Each structure stands twice: as structure tokens, then as C-alpha cells.
Structure 1
């Protein structure tokens, strides 16, 4: 996770997309903001469940290498 990433995070019981506006690796938390520039606060890394890597079929810049593989070869 990096500053500028869009993440799916649970905050106050609700799961929403948020912009990562800062990171605090020592405390394992991310500062999250909304799409209008308002800082919502800090949330723990354990409350981040996913990352937006594409919007409308267009890959977001910086998303390379952050998506899980979609290969279906794991059906051993």
C-alpha cells in the first residue's frame, strides 16, 4: 500500500473505498480520505481488505504488481 492508492476499508462497520493520504508504518495504519479531499482519519492495515487497480476497465497508474493473479491453474 502506498500514498495515493484507493483501498477498500472497513470504518465504523461500513466498507467503502477510500484514498490513502498518508501511511504510518510504525503503527501499521493508513490515513484515509474521501474523494473530495477531506481526511477521514486513521485506520489499521488490518481493516484494509482490497485495493482498486482499475476503474471502468482502465488500469490505474501505479497498480502494476498490486493485483492478485487471476490464473486458474491452481486447480490441482
Structure 2
């Protein structure tokens, strides 16, 4: 299990977490080692351009929502360089990135899933 899998498990359990992902696939939205905040998400509220923590074909990514198919309850996940990772169900979208280095992401707060 990788670090993103462990983060996904915590977020799926209702935690709001902060971590520093590595890599360049999301530049300039997220640069390597920037502090991100991820909260549980209501997948029905997602929009193209949201950054989500999701599992696609067995791999967990912190990537963009690039397309929606609400009738089938699924989203397409891509990096910020044009590579499409694939489609995944709402059940495999664990969280939404609400902040990058303390700067709120537009419209993300309204998509956080309230926890009982």
C-alpha cells in the first residue's frame, strides 16, 4: 500500500488530512511537496477542474476531474499535463483538495461531505 492509498483510507473514514505529494504531473496547480488539504467529498457535487483523491484501475491519484458522467455515477480522472488516467465510480472518489499551501481552492469547500 502506497502513501496515497493510506491517505485515501483516512479520508474515506471521514478525516480531513494534510500531506505533501511529490511529482510534477499537477504543476502549476500543485507543485511537488506543497502542502495540500484533502477532505471527504460529496461526489455528486463534483465539477470538471476539481482536484480529487481517487482510485482508478487500482492506483490512487491526486488528480483533476476531467469529465463527468453523473447518470452512471462516475468521473474521469486526468493529470494536469493531458494524460487521462481513466474513469472511476463515485465510490472511489475519496476526497477533494480544499487548499494548496493554505490557499483555498475555488468552490471546493461547498463540496465537502458533511460527516455525521
TM-score, scaled to structure 2 = 0.54
Q: What are the ranges of 5 or more consecutive residues in structure 1 without an aligned counterpart?
A: none
Per-residue deviation, 1:68? 5.3
**Aligned match of 1:62 in 69, 91, 107?**
107
Partner of 1:30: 75
Structure with the higher strand share, 1 or 2? 1
More helix by share: 2
Q: Which has the higher contact order (CA 8 A, sep 6+)?
A: 2
Corresponding pairs, count:
70
CA RMSD of aligned residues (A): 1.8
The alignment's TM-score, normalised by the length of structure 1, stands at 0.79
What are the ranges of 5 or more consecutive residues in structure 2 without an aligned counterpart? 1-45
Select which of 73, 77, 90 maps to 1:45: 90
Which structure would you say has the larger Rg? Answer: 1
For 1:58 and 1:34, the matched residues in 2 are separated by 20
